[in-house]
Structure 1
């Protein structure tokens, strides 16, 4: 059974390697392309006043990587924080790992426990709501795309981050958004189109960690039928998107690799 990993290229490679190490026939077919911010000057301007925020919420590892890619030299307020430096909020372990890689101390990061059932805005809010105070300034670092989707575990139209912004506002916080990267459907090469055609009905298992990836797949291959295809989705909302696309069997799984492998093997 072939497993098709649809994450953006950098993350897809890591998942493919881990799945192959577990003995699975995994291949990469990125259905989302990540590029830099549409307005780099806006990111640079935020860096100049980053100390004014009480918390920075990153919707994904991509948000972290693209935000820190534009960090001005010598400005290390997040890597060498003071008592007044902002907290860093993350929705899951991938984003936490990116923050640690960027040099942010673990003591400054708030995120759902790695054993949490889901990694999304709701799970994050359960962790941070008690510390948010009236008058707090919170920056949500996100992406921008044709479909306006957020993190891999968020629904279409960014409902997860908008839901979180609403909860923050209810607590009296002032919320700003910053677009730190762009997400878009990739150009499909001939080899990828051939794989799409075959994998729609040959028993391949599609691994989705974003509803945007599902939507991009439908746009890339509007004439294909998915009634013989199977999928593993890393969030209930992503699973709903796969079922709406016509996938015959959709299994929900936590995005932790051990859980993904177990879910894939259950469908073998």
Structure 2
């Protein structure tokens, strides 16, 4: 019975986690949110200045790649209507690139027409930079400029080394890449209840839904000394699975980050 499926611990940033929890519960799967990445608007003067400049230069880019739904949300804030992106597209045929369906949904919600968005097919084996490049590579030639909008942490954040890999492909095709931080990512600050939940979920058969290698590192740092040999993880990318294994998770399974496949994988773990 679905009601007996193992509890899912959703570790995405708070805004995304809330929707995943609601959708999993609607399917009959027990789920709760324990965000392992904290998201904030950029606050340092240098990052704010760079973000403002990137917004003003939109018409000069052949494409703008958004690494996530958060990148969309914080780039198109209340001070920059989505119409500005539309103006850029009209002037220079600027495209919006998305690595997966969550980012596509955020772009649509922001008001961007579907015909201006490029992304891997819904049935792609993975939703990442490599899959995206297979779709958009023909767009880039000598002199083309691409803006990558991401979080203000390390270059490998939110997608491992994929963003750097994508920039190398663009450069090899003759294009140039600019990076801009639309938001800041950081480690969560667990309260007592969250710490208790995490420690219990490390041993009670809960399934940790992991969608970022960075999140795995934050979890290990938040619970120093915790043994993860009894913990079960469901990772949405091979790089994330490797991070979970390195952290000591006793059971690590992989699936695509599409909701139906994640839910089916959780149910399958219960059956086995």
Contact 1:44 1:70 in 2 (8 A): no
Alignment partners' CA distance in 1, 2:93 and 2:203: 52
Contact 1:32 1:183 in 2 (8 A): yes
Q: CA deviation at 1:53?
A: 0.8
**Distance change (3 Å), C-alpha of 1:82 and 1:54:** same
- What's the TM-score once normalised by structure 2's chain length? 0.92
**Distance change (3 Å), C-alpha of 1:165 and 1:114:** same
Partner of 1:265: 267
Contact 2:236 2:256 in 1 (8 A): yes
CA-based RMSD of the aligned residues comes to 1.4
**Distance change (3 Å), C-alpha of 1:149 and 1:192:** farther
Gaps of 5+ in 2: 1-5
SS at match of 2:257: coil
Alignment partners' CA distance in 2, 1:181 and 1:72: 15
1:199 equivalent among 201, 220, 241: 201
Query: Is residue 79 from structure 1 mapped to residue 86 from structure 2 by the alignment?
Result: yes
The equivalences for 1:168-187 within 5 A come to 168-187=170-189
Partner of 1:48: 56
1:19 equivalent among 11, 21, 24: 24
Q: CA deviation at 1:136?
A: 0.1
- What's the TM-score once normalised by structure 1's chain length? 0.94
Gaps of 5+ in 1: none
Partner of 2:100: 92
| Post-superposition CA distance 1:216-254 (Å, at most 9, x none) | 000001110000010100001001101111111111011
Partner of 1:6: 11
Q: How many residues end up aligned between the 2 structures?
A: 261
Contact 1:55 1:86 in 2 (8 A): yes
Alignment partners' CA distance in 1, 2:155 and 2:175: 24
Query: Is residue 29 from structure 1 mapped to residue 34 from structure 2 by the alignment?
Result: yes
Contact 1:91 1:111 in 2 (8 A): yes
| Post-superposition CA distance 1:163-183 (Å, at most 9, x none) | 000000000001111111111
Name segments (4+ residues, structure 1) moved above 4 Å. none
Alignment partners' CA distance in 2, 1:9 and 1:149: 21
Alignment partners' CA distance in 2, 1:222 and 1:85: 50
Alignment partners' CA distance in 2, 1:149 and 1:191: 30
2:73 equivalent among 65, 72, 91: 65
Contact 1:77 1:85 in 2 (8 A): no
Q: Quick check: which one's helix share is greater? A: 2
Query: Is residue 190 from structure 1 mapped to residue 195 from structure 2 by the alignment?
Result: no
Query: Is residue 101 from structure 1 mapped to residue 106 from structure 2 by the alignment?
Result: no
Alignment partners' CA distance in 2, 1:193 and 1:241: 21
SS at match of 1:130: helix
